[in-house]
Amino acid sequence: VKFVDEYRSGELARRVIGQIEALLDPGRTYKIMEVCGGHTHTIYKHGIEHVLPPAVDLIHGPGCPVCVIPMGRVDDAIAIAERPEVIFTTFGDMMRVPGGGGSLLDAKARGADVRMVYSPLDALKIAREHPEREVVFFAIGFETTAPSTALTLLRARQEGIGNFFVFCNHVTIIPAVRAILDSPDLRLDGFVGPGHVSTVIGCRPYEFIARDHRKPLVVAGFEPLDVLQAVLMILRQLAEGRSEVENQYTRVVRDAGNPRALEVLAETMELRTTFEWRGLGFISQSALKLRSDFADWDAELQYAVPGVRVADPKACQCGEVLKGVIKPWECKVFGTACTPERPIGTCMVSSEGACAAYYNYGRFARPREAAAT
Protein backbone atom coordinates (compact mmCIF):
# COMPACT_ATOMS: atom_id res chain seq x y z
CA VAL A 1 0.00 0.00 0.00
CA LYS A 2 2.74 2.36 -0.90
CA PHE A 3 1.63 5.50 -2.72
CA VAL A 4 -1.42 5.88 -0.48
CA ASP A 5 -0.13 8.84 1.48
CA GLU A 6 0.07 11.12 -1.53
CA TYR A 7 -3.68 10.67 -2.06
CA ARG A 8 -4.29 11.74 1.53
CA SER A 9 -2.08 14.82 1.65
CA GLY A 10 -3.60 17.72 3.51
CA GLU A 11 -1.52 20.21 1.58
CA LEU A 12 -2.74 19.01 -1.81
CA ALA A 13 -6.28 18.94 -0.44
CA ARG A 14 -6.09 22.62 0.51
CA ARG A 15 -4.96 23.46 -3.00
CA VAL A 16 -7.88 21.58 -4.59
CA ILE A 17 -10.32 23.20 -2.18
CA GLY A 18 -9.00 26.60 -3.22
CA GLN A 19 -9.77 25.72 -6.83
CA ILE A 20 -13.23 24.46 -5.85
CA GLU A 21 -14.01 27.69 -4.00
CA ALA A 22 -13.01 29.73 -7.03
CA LEU A 23 -15.60 27.91 -9.16
CA LEU A 24 -18.58 28.44 -6.86
CA ASP A 25 -21.37 30.79 -7.87
CA PRO A 26 -22.13 32.94 -4.82
CA GLY A 27 -25.54 32.10 -3.41
CA ARG A 28 -25.85 28.83 -5.27
CA THR A 29 -25.74 25.41 -3.62
CA TYR A 30 -24.49 22.33 -5.42
CA LYS A 31 -25.94 18.90 -4.81
CA ILE A 32 -23.56 16.17 -5.91
CA MET A 33 -24.37 12.50 -5.44
CA GLU A 34 -21.67 9.93 -4.86
CA VAL A 35 -23.29 6.80 -6.25
CA CYS A 36 -20.98 4.32 -4.56
CA GLY A 37 -20.93 3.31 -0.90
CA GLY A 38 -17.15 3.10 -1.04
CA HIS A 39 -17.09 6.85 -1.66
CA THR A 40 -19.55 7.46 1.17
CA HIS A 41 -17.16 5.58 3.44
CA THR A 42 -14.15 7.61 2.23
CA ILE A 43 -16.04 10.88 2.63
CA TYR A 44 -16.87 10.21 6.27
CA LYS A 45 -13.70 8.38 7.21
CA HIS A 46 -11.52 11.27 6.13
CA GLY A 47 -13.93 14.00 7.14
CA ILE A 48 -14.26 15.38 3.59
CA GLU A 49 -17.55 17.15 4.35
CA HIS A 50 -15.64 19.24 6.86
CA VAL A 51 -13.15 20.56 4.36
CA LEU A 52 -15.61 21.26 1.54
CA PRO A 53 -17.29 24.66 1.32
CA PRO A 54 -20.82 24.48 2.83
CA ALA A 55 -22.32 25.32 -0.57
CA VAL A 56 -21.25 21.89 -1.85
CA ASP A 57 -23.64 19.27 -0.52
CA LEU A 58 -22.65 15.63 -0.96
CA ILE A 59 -25.70 13.38 -1.33
CA HIS A 60 -25.15 9.70 -0.60
CA GLY A 61 -26.38 7.31 -3.26
CA PRO A 62 -27.61 3.72 -3.58
CA GLY A 63 -24.29 1.95 -4.29
CA CYS A 64 -23.85 0.01 -1.08
CA PRO A 65 -24.09 -3.74 -1.81
CA VAL A 66 -25.29 -4.71 1.65
CA CYS A 67 -27.77 -1.85 1.91
CA VAL A 68 -29.80 -2.76 -1.16
CA ILE A 69 -30.54 -6.37 -0.13
CA PRO A 70 -34.23 -6.59 0.83
CA MET A 71 -35.32 -8.27 4.05
CA GLY A 72 -37.00 -11.16 2.23
CA ARG A 73 -33.69 -12.22 0.69
CA VAL A 74 -32.06 -12.25 4.14
CA ASP A 75 -34.84 -14.57 5.31
CA ASP A 76 -34.19 -16.80 2.31
CA ALA A 77 -30.49 -16.86 3.19
CA ILE A 78 -31.28 -17.82 6.79
CA ALA A 79 -33.63 -20.59 5.61
CA ILE A 80 -30.76 -22.05 3.58
CA ALA A 81 -28.23 -21.53 6.38
CA GLU A 82 -30.41 -23.38 8.90
CA ARG A 83 -30.40 -26.61 6.88
CA PRO A 84 -28.20 -29.07 8.79
CA GLU A 85 -26.27 -30.18 5.69
CA VAL A 86 -25.31 -26.60 4.78
CA ILE A 87 -22.22 -24.55 5.56
CA PHE A 88 -23.36 -21.02 4.75
CA THR A 89 -20.61 -18.57 3.81
CA THR A 90 -20.95 -14.82 3.66
CA PHE A 91 -19.07 -11.54 3.79
CA GLY A 92 -18.89 -10.25 7.37
CA ASP A 93 -21.22 -7.26 7.00
CA MET A 94 -24.07 -9.39 5.71
CA MET A 95 -24.13 -11.38 8.96
CA ARG A 96 -25.60 -8.50 10.92
CA VAL A 97 -28.34 -7.47 8.46
CA PRO A 98 -31.75 -8.10 10.00
CA GLY A 99 -34.37 -10.00 8.04
CA GLY A 100 -37.94 -10.55 9.12
CA GLY A 101 -36.77 -13.00 11.81
CA GLY A 102 -33.36 -11.87 12.95
CA SER A 103 -29.97 -11.90 11.25
CA LEU A 104 -27.53 -14.58 10.10
CA LEU A 105 -25.55 -13.87 13.28
CA ASP A 106 -28.64 -14.84 15.30
CA ALA A 107 -29.07 -17.96 13.16
CA LYS A 108 -25.42 -18.81 13.86
CA ALA A 109 -25.98 -18.46 17.61
CA ARG A 110 -28.99 -20.82 17.27
CA GLY A 111 -26.70 -23.42 15.72
CA ALA A 112 -26.57 -22.71 11.98
CA ASP A 113 -23.10 -23.22 10.48
CA VAL A 114 -22.51 -19.69 9.18
CA ARG A 115 -18.95 -18.72 8.33
CA MET A 116 -17.42 -15.42 7.32
CA VAL A 117 -15.29 -15.44 4.17
CA TYR A 118 -13.34 -12.76 2.34
CA SER A 119 -13.97 -14.08 -1.16
CA PRO A 120 -16.08 -16.68 -2.98
CA LEU A 121 -12.88 -18.65 -3.59
CA ASP A 122 -12.61 -19.11 0.20
CA ALA A 123 -16.10 -20.62 0.10
CA LEU A 124 -15.09 -22.95 -2.72
CA LYS A 125 -12.08 -24.02 -0.66
CA ILE A 126 -14.38 -24.93 2.22
CA ALA A 127 -16.48 -26.99 -0.21
CA ARG A 128 -13.38 -28.82 -1.36
CA GLU A 129 -12.39 -29.55 2.25
CA HIS A 130 -15.87 -30.72 3.27
CA PRO A 131 -17.17 -32.96 0.50
CA GLU A 132 -19.76 -34.38 2.91
CA ARG A 133 -21.42 -30.95 3.40
CA GLU A 134 -23.11 -28.51 1.03
CA VAL A 135 -21.39 -25.13 0.95
CA VAL A 136 -23.44 -22.10 -0.07
CA PHE A 137 -21.96 -18.68 -0.86
CA PHE A 138 -24.16 -15.62 -0.27
CA ALA A 139 -23.17 -13.62 -3.35
CA ILE A 140 -23.87 -9.91 -3.06
CA GLY A 141 -22.50 -6.81 -4.70
CA PHE A 142 -22.49 -4.82 -7.91
CA GLU A 143 -20.41 -5.48 -11.02
CA THR A 144 -17.38 -5.05 -8.75
CA THR A 145 -17.73 -8.40 -6.98
CA ALA A 146 -19.83 -10.31 -9.54
CA PRO A 147 -16.81 -11.29 -11.69
CA SER A 148 -15.14 -13.03 -8.74
CA THR A 149 -18.34 -15.02 -8.19
CA ALA A 150 -18.33 -15.80 -11.91
CA LEU A 151 -14.72 -17.01 -11.80
CA THR A 152 -15.50 -19.16 -8.78
CA LEU A 153 -18.41 -20.77 -10.63
CA LEU A 154 -16.16 -21.50 -13.59
CA ARG A 155 -13.60 -23.06 -11.31
CA ALA A 156 -16.25 -25.16 -9.51
CA ARG A 157 -17.39 -26.51 -12.87
CA GLN A 158 -13.84 -27.11 -14.05
CA GLU A 159 -12.95 -29.02 -10.89
CA GLY A 160 -16.29 -30.81 -10.83
CA ILE A 161 -17.11 -29.61 -7.31
CA GLY A 162 -20.74 -30.59 -6.84
CA ASN A 163 -21.27 -29.53 -3.23
CA PHE A 164 -20.82 -25.79 -3.85
CA PHE A 165 -23.75 -23.46 -4.50
CA VAL A 166 -24.16 -19.74 -5.12
CA PHE A 167 -27.10 -17.81 -3.68
CA CYS A 168 -26.93 -15.04 -6.25
CA ASN A 169 -27.92 -11.51 -5.26
CA HIS A 170 -25.68 -9.56 -7.59
CA VAL A 171 -27.17 -6.28 -8.76
CA THR A 172 -26.26 -3.82 -11.50
CA ILE A 173 -25.64 -0.13 -10.93
CA ILE A 174 -27.12 1.54 -14.00
CA PRO A 175 -30.82 0.71 -13.31
CA ALA A 176 -30.45 2.10 -9.79
CA VAL A 177 -28.98 5.37 -11.06
CA ARG A 178 -31.76 5.54 -13.64
CA ALA A 179 -34.37 5.04 -10.90
CA ILE A 180 -32.87 7.96 -8.99
CA LEU A 181 -32.76 10.21 -12.06
CA ASP A 182 -36.41 9.38 -12.77
CA SER A 183 -37.41 10.03 -9.17
CA PRO A 184 -39.26 13.34 -8.81
CA ASP A 185 -38.02 13.88 -5.24
CA LEU A 186 -34.54 14.97 -5.99
CA ARG A 187 -32.68 17.64 -7.89
CA LEU A 188 -29.05 16.77 -8.37
CA ASP A 189 -26.32 18.79 -10.09
CA GLY A 190 -23.94 15.96 -10.82
CA PHE A 191 -22.58 12.54 -9.93
CA VAL A 192 -19.36 11.12 -8.58
CA GLY A 193 -19.33 7.85 -10.52
CA PRO A 194 -18.40 4.53 -8.91
CA GLY A 195 -14.73 3.64 -9.26
CA HIS A 196 -14.59 -0.11 -8.77
CA VAL A 197 -17.76 -0.85 -10.73
CA SER A 198 -16.30 1.16 -13.59
CA THR A 199 -13.12 -0.90 -13.65
CA VAL A 200 -15.46 -3.65 -14.88
CA ILE A 201 -18.14 -1.87 -16.93
CA GLY A 202 -16.04 1.09 -18.06
CA CYS A 203 -17.32 4.65 -18.51
CA ARG A 204 -19.61 4.31 -21.51
CA PRO A 205 -22.72 2.96 -19.73
CA TYR A 206 -23.04 6.34 -17.97
CA GLU A 207 -23.29 8.36 -21.16
CA PHE A 208 -27.11 8.61 -21.01
CA ILE A 209 -26.73 10.59 -17.79
CA ALA A 210 -24.73 13.30 -19.51
CA ARG A 211 -26.63 13.15 -22.78
CA ASP A 212 -30.29 12.68 -21.73
CA HIS A 213 -30.26 14.15 -18.23
CA ARG A 214 -27.63 16.84 -18.84
CA LYS A 215 -25.73 15.99 -15.63
CA PRO A 216 -21.96 15.73 -15.33
CA LEU A 217 -20.58 12.42 -14.04
CA VAL A 218 -16.97 11.92 -13.00
CA VAL A 219 -15.75 8.39 -12.26
CA ALA A 220 -13.51 8.64 -9.19
CA GLY A 221 -11.09 6.66 -7.07
CA PHE A 222 -11.49 5.98 -3.37
CA GLU A 223 -8.80 8.07 -1.74
CA PRO A 224 -9.94 11.38 -0.29
CA LEU A 225 -8.06 13.43 -2.89
CA ASP A 226 -9.73 11.39 -5.65
CA VAL A 227 -13.13 12.43 -4.34
CA LEU A 228 -12.11 16.07 -3.97
CA GLN A 229 -10.72 16.14 -7.48
CA ALA A 230 -13.93 14.58 -8.85
CA VAL A 231 -15.96 17.30 -7.13
CA LEU A 232 -13.67 19.89 -8.71
CA MET A 233 -14.13 18.33 -12.17
CA ILE A 234 -17.92 18.30 -11.77
CA LEU A 235 -17.96 21.95 -10.68
CA ARG A 236 -15.74 22.87 -13.60
CA GLN A 237 -18.18 21.21 -16.01
CA LEU A 238 -21.07 23.08 -14.39
CA ALA A 239 -19.21 26.38 -14.56
CA GLU A 240 -18.46 25.80 -18.24
CA GLY A 241 -22.00 24.62 -19.01
CA ARG A 242 -20.86 21.12 -19.98
CA SER A 243 -22.35 17.74 -19.04
CA GLU A 244 -19.96 14.93 -19.82
CA VAL A 245 -18.74 11.63 -18.49
CA GLU A 246 -15.18 12.13 -17.29
CA ASN A 247 -12.73 9.76 -15.70
CA GLN A 248 -10.73 10.95 -12.70
CA TYR A 249 -9.65 7.36 -11.87
CA THR A 250 -7.52 6.88 -14.98
CA ARG A 251 -4.88 4.99 -13.01
CA VAL A 252 -7.36 2.09 -12.80
CA VAL A 253 -10.45 2.61 -14.98
CA ARG A 254 -10.42 2.12 -18.76
CA ASP A 255 -13.20 3.54 -20.91
CA ALA A 256 -14.11 0.09 -22.15
CA GLY A 257 -13.89 -1.47 -18.70
CA ASN A 258 -12.50 -4.95 -18.28
CA PRO A 259 -13.56 -7.11 -21.27
CA ARG A 260 -12.38 -10.35 -19.63
CA ALA A 261 -14.49 -9.69 -16.52
CA LEU A 262 -17.53 -8.85 -18.66
CA GLU A 263 -16.94 -12.05 -20.60
CA VAL A 264 -16.96 -14.33 -17.54
CA LEU A 265 -20.02 -12.50 -16.25
CA ALA A 266 -21.85 -13.08 -19.50
CA GLU A 267 -20.80 -16.72 -19.48
CA THR A 268 -22.16 -17.45 -16.01
CA MET A 269 -24.95 -14.96 -15.30
CA GLU A 270 -27.85 -13.23 -17.00
CA LEU A 271 -30.26 -10.42 -16.11
CA ARG A 272 -33.32 -11.20 -14.02
CA THR A 273 -36.60 -9.79 -15.26
CA THR A 274 -36.93 -7.92 -12.02
CA PHE A 275 -35.39 -7.74 -8.54
CA GLU A 276 -36.43 -6.08 -5.32
CA TRP A 277 -34.09 -3.45 -3.92
CA ARG A 278 -34.37 -2.48 -0.32
CA GLY A 279 -36.25 0.79 -0.08
CA LEU A 280 -36.34 1.26 -3.85
CA GLY A 281 -38.81 -1.53 -4.62
CA PHE A 282 -38.77 -3.74 -7.71
CA ILE A 283 -36.53 -2.51 -10.53
CA SER A 284 -36.70 -4.34 -13.83
CA GLN A 285 -33.53 -5.89 -15.24
CA SER A 286 -31.51 -4.69 -12.28
CA ALA A 287 -29.96 -7.92 -11.00
CA LEU A 288 -28.21 -11.08 -12.11
CA LYS A 289 -29.03 -14.77 -11.75
CA LEU A 290 -27.07 -17.83 -12.76
CA ARG A 291 -27.47 -19.04 -16.34
CA SER A 292 -29.15 -22.40 -16.82
CA ASP A 293 -25.74 -23.91 -17.69
CA PHE A 294 -24.87 -23.35 -14.04
CA ALA A 295 -28.15 -24.67 -12.61
CA ASP A 296 -26.22 -27.38 -10.73
CA TRP A 297 -24.51 -24.68 -8.67
CA ASP A 298 -27.59 -22.47 -8.18
CA ALA A 299 -28.73 -22.37 -4.54
CA GLU A 300 -32.11 -20.96 -5.60
CA LEU A 301 -32.78 -24.16 -7.55
CA GLN A 302 -31.19 -26.48 -5.01
CA TYR A 303 -33.17 -25.30 -1.99
CA ALA A 304 -36.79 -24.36 -1.41
CA VAL A 305 -36.72 -20.88 0.18
CA PRO A 306 -39.66 -18.84 1.50
CA GLY A 307 -39.17 -16.31 -1.30
CA VAL A 308 -41.54 -14.00 0.50
CA ARG A 309 -41.40 -10.24 0.16
CA VAL A 310 -41.01 -8.74 3.63
CA ALA A 311 -42.12 -5.14 3.96
CA ASP A 312 -39.54 -2.83 5.54
CA PRO A 313 -40.34 -1.79 9.11
CA LYS A 314 -42.64 1.23 9.01
CA ALA A 315 -40.23 3.54 10.78
CA CYS A 316 -37.31 2.65 8.49
CA GLN A 317 -36.46 5.27 5.86
CA CYS A 318 -33.63 3.42 4.17
CA GLY A 319 -35.29 3.95 0.80
CA GLU A 320 -35.22 7.72 1.14
CA VAL A 321 -31.63 7.59 2.40
CA LEU A 322 -30.55 5.36 -0.50
CA LYS A 323 -32.15 7.75 -2.99
CA GLY A 324 -30.51 10.69 -1.25
CA VAL A 325 -33.88 12.30 -0.52
CA ILE A 326 -33.02 12.62 3.15
CA LYS A 327 -29.78 12.77 5.07
CA PRO A 328 -29.13 9.91 7.50
CA TRP A 329 -29.82 12.07 10.54
CA GLU A 330 -33.20 13.09 9.12
CA CYS A 331 -34.53 9.53 9.39
CA LYS A 332 -37.06 9.22 12.20
CA VAL A 333 -35.24 6.38 13.92
CA PHE A 334 -31.61 7.41 13.26
CA GLY A 335 -29.38 6.80 16.26
CA THR A 336 -32.26 6.08 18.62
CA ALA A 337 -34.22 2.98 17.60
CA CYS A 338 -31.72 2.26 14.81
CA THR A 339 -28.03 2.09 15.73
CA PRO A 340 -25.08 0.10 14.36
CA GLU A 341 -25.32 -2.35 17.26
CA ARG A 342 -29.08 -2.79 16.79
CA PRO A 343 -29.87 -1.80 13.22
CA ILE A 344 -33.37 -1.62 11.79
CA GLY A 345 -32.26 -0.70 8.30
CA THR A 346 -29.45 -1.94 6.12
CA CYS A 347 -27.94 1.54 5.76
CA MET A 348 -27.00 1.31 9.43
CA VAL A 349 -25.22 -2.05 8.99
CA SER A 350 -22.63 -1.84 6.27
CA SER A 351 -19.59 0.37 6.71
CA GLU A 352 -20.51 1.66 3.23
CA GLY A 353 -24.04 2.51 4.32
CA ALA A 354 -24.69 6.23 4.66
CA CYS A 355 -26.28 5.90 8.10
CA ALA A 356 -23.52 3.75 9.56
CA ALA A 357 -20.87 6.04 8.06
CA TYR A 358 -22.55 9.13 9.48
CA TYR A 359 -23.17 7.46 12.85
CA ASN A 360 -19.67 6.05 13.20
CA TYR A 361 -17.66 8.91 11.75
CA GLY A 362 -19.73 12.03 11.20
CA ARG A 363 -21.81 12.27 14.31
CA PHE A 364 -20.59 15.46 15.94
CA ALA A 365 -21.64 19.04 15.71
CA ARG A 366 -19.87 21.08 13.08
CA PRO A 367 -18.79 24.64 13.73
CA ARG A 368 -21.91 26.78 13.59
CA GLU A 369 -20.96 28.89 10.56
CA ALA A 370 -20.28 25.77 8.46
CA ALA A 371 -23.55 24.17 9.49
CA ALA A 372 -25.73 27.11 8.53
CA THR A 373 -26.91 26.44 5.00
Partner 1 sequence: VSGDREREVIDLVERRRRLKPKLKEELVTLSHGAGGKATRVLVEALFLEELGNPTLSSLGDAGVFGERGRRLALSTDSFVVKPLFFPGGNIGDLAVNGTVNDVLMSGARPLGLAASFILEEGFAVAGLRHIAASMGDAARAAGVLVVAGDTKVVERGKADGVYVTTTGIGLVEGGRELSPDRIRPGDAVIVSGTLGDHGTAVMVARGELELEVDLRSDTAALTPLVKRLLEAAGEVRCLRDPTRGGIATVLNEFALQAGVSIVLDEASLPVKPEVVGACEILGIDPLYVANEGKLVAVVGPEGAEAALASLRSHPLGADAAVVGEVRSEPEGLVLLDTAFGGRRVVDMLVGDPLPRIC
Residue ranges in contact with partner 1 by CB under 8 A: 1-2, 4-5, 8-10, 13-14, 44-51, 92, 95-96, 105-106, 108-110, 118, 122, 224-225, 327, 329-330, 334-336, 340-342, 351, 359-366, 368, 371-373
> Of the two residues 114 and 238, which places its CB atom closer to partner 1 in the complex?
114
Closest separation in Å from C-beta 369 to partner 1: 9
Closest separation in Å from C-beta 93 to partner 1: 8
Closest separation in Å from C-beta 294 to partner 1: 26
CA separation (Å) from 107 to 49, 132, 137?
38, 21, 16
Closest separation in Å from C-beta 320 to partner 1: 15
Closest separation in Å from C-beta 247 to partner 1: 22
Closest separation in Å from C-beta 43 to partner 1: 9
Closest separation in Å from C-beta 366 to partner 1: 7
Closest separation in Å from C-beta 130 to partner 1: 15
> Of the two residues 10 and 281, which places its CB atom closer to partner 1 in the complex?
10
> Of the two residues 53 and 340, which places its CB atom closer to partner 1 in the complex?
340
Closest CA to 168 of 359, 334, 299: 299
